[in-house]
Amino acid sequence: MESIKNIIIESLKELNEELNIKELENPDENTKIYGEGGLLDSLALVTFITDLEEKIEDELGYRITLVNERAMSRFRSPFKDVKTLSLYIQELIKEENKDG
Amino acid sequence: MVKDKVFVITGTRKGIGKSLSEYYLDKGNIVIGCSRGEGSINHKNYTHYTLDVSDEKAVVNMIRDVRKKFGRIDILLNNAGIASMNHIITTPYKTVDNIFKTNFYGTFLFTREVAKVMMKHKKGRIVNFATVATPLRLEGEAIYASSKAAIENFTEIMARELADFGITVNAVGPTPVPTDLIKNVPEEKINALLERQAIRRFGTFEDVVNVIDFFIDDKSDFITGQIVYLGGVVK
Ligand SMILES: NC(=O)c1ccc[n+]([C@@H]2O[C@H](COP(=O)([O-])OP(=O)(O)OC[C@H]3O[C@@H](n4cnc5c(N)ncnc54)[C@H](OP(=O)(O)O)[C@@H]3O)[C@@H](O)[C@H]2O)c1
């Protein structure tokens, strides 16, 4: 869990090298990502998602696809904030492992 | 001239996809190809994946493998395609399902996965495969032409969505080119089709590659969202 959170924070920081948003300089659990009050616009979200998928594979060895139908139709977007997103990724990794 | 680029080409076991792979390999590029059947190209810079382009998991895995191994993808050619001639009244649902899965879903999946890799480098070229059957509204090809019409619209919108990432998306629309794809189409049907072109002859592999070479040229970074038909067919 901690490692997933760190990857998210790391990706946000990297992304911010281009975006230069003050609130993204030191992201934490509660940093809002996308949606109401979120710091990323849809273009930045696309880059962020690709980046995360890559890092999760390279650093943790899991191949997951962050965008799926369930994620997109959830009442609470999994991309809401750092905490929600790490829980969601944890869930995805569990699921992927189940079917081998 | 393109050289030292990493190409992903779909549908490389035979036909136009195979010729394209051999052509770009010959010029010193790396080609990663795929088809449902086993690969048929033997070259040190060629890698084959045996998969169906509409199988999401397999496509995701292939592109992630490619990213790991080569670090980038410069060019994607969404060539894999199937056709079927039939009157609408005698067209089984399953045929429609198959055609849309290979032609449209396949193009969608590869575009999505490869664009993710290209975005990082803020550069990329994607070429899709359309057909003159769409603008000519050919009877008997309703499903095939519609699946390719979907690809045309997809190309035009992807060009806009991916422009900010330095990725261009275009499509080539061949006239009939003698391959297995059209071998079961009756001769009189083909002749009637050729009659409707401005230049009345079969297309060749060279005609197709000529358009692709233009789209993927480094200098073509201001060319996107275009559908170029061969033989003088117009929309
Ligand atoms: N030839 C023409 O007259 C003509 C005209 C206009 C447009 N086009 C377009 O040009 C493209 C190439 O056509 P072609 O004439 O070269 O056709 P082809 O000779 O029939 O070859 C089709 C290729 O695609 C592969 N393929 C088919 N379905 C697939 C799937 N579901 N997943 C993975 N690979 C698949 C095939 O290999 P496997 O069977 O092993 O999968 C084969 O390598 C197509 O998009 C076609 O619509 C052709």
Give the residue among B174, B155, B135 at the shortest CA–CA distance from B223: B155
Determine the average pLDDT of the residues in B67-95: 96
Say how many domains are in chain B: 1
Q: CB count, 10 Å around CB of B120?
A: 17
| Closest approach of A48 to chain B, Cα-based (Å) | 10
Write the residue in A43, A50, A63 that is nearest to B116 by C-beta.
A50
The answer to whether position B95 is within a domain reads yes
Where does ligand 1 bind, in terms of residues with CB under 6 Å?
B 10-17, 34-37, 52-54, 79-83, 102, 129, 131, 174, 176-177, 179-182
Adjacency order of strands within the sheet including B75-78: B46-50, B30-35, B6-10, B75-78, B124-129, B167-173, B227-229
Tell whether pTM > 0.80.
Answer: yes
Task: Tell whether the model's pLDDT for residue B108 goes beyond 90.
Answer: yes
Paired sense of beta strands B167-173 and B227-229, if any? parallel
Residues of A in contact with B116 (CB under 8 A): 50, 53
Q: Cα torsion for A58, A62, A63, A69, to the nearest 10°? A: -130
Residues of B in contact with A54 (CB under 8 A): 67
Closest residue, chain A, to B161 (C-alpha): A43
Q: Which atom of ligand 1 is nearest to the CA of B130?
A: 7
ipTM score assigned to the predicted complex: 0.78
Write the residue in B64, B119, B164 that is nearest to A63 by C-beta.
B64
Q: Considering only A46-60, B49-63, B202-216, which range has the smallest mean pLDDT?
A: A46-60
Write the residue in B61, B116, B119 that is nearest to A63 by C-beta.
B61
Task: Tell whether the model's pLDDT for residue B212 goes beyond 80.
Answer: yes
The answer to whether position B25 is within a domain reads yes
Q: CB count, 10 Å around CB of B83?
A: 20
pLDDT over 90 percentage in chain B:
96
The answer to whether position B180 is within a domain reads yes
In whole angstroms, what separates CA B102 from the centre of its chain? 11
Determine the average pLDDT of the residues in B25-52: 98
Helix (H, G, I), strand (E, B) or coil at B128: strand
Give the confidence band of A42 by pLDDT, cuts at 50, 70, 90.
confident
Q: Angle at CA B161, nearest 5°, toward B159 and B164?
A: 90
Give the confidence band of B1 by pLDDT, cuts at 50, 70, 90.
low
The answer to whether position B92 is within a domain reads yes
Residue A53 and residue B120: Cβ atoms within 8 Å? no
pLDDT tens readout for residues B140-159? 999 999 999 999 999 999 99
Task: Tell whether the model's pLDDT for residue A97 goes beyond 80.
Answer: no
The domain that holds B36 is classified in CATH as: 3.40.50.720
The answer to whether position B235 is within a domain reads no
User: Which domains does chain A show, CATH number per domain?
Assistant: 2-99 (1.10.1200)
Token output for B104: 């449209």
Q: Which atom of ligand 1 is nearest to the CA of B203?
A: 3
The answer to whether position B156 is within a domain reads yes
Atom 32 in ligand 1: residue holding the nearest Cα: B52
- The domain of B138 spans 6-229
The answer to whether position B1 is within a domain reads no
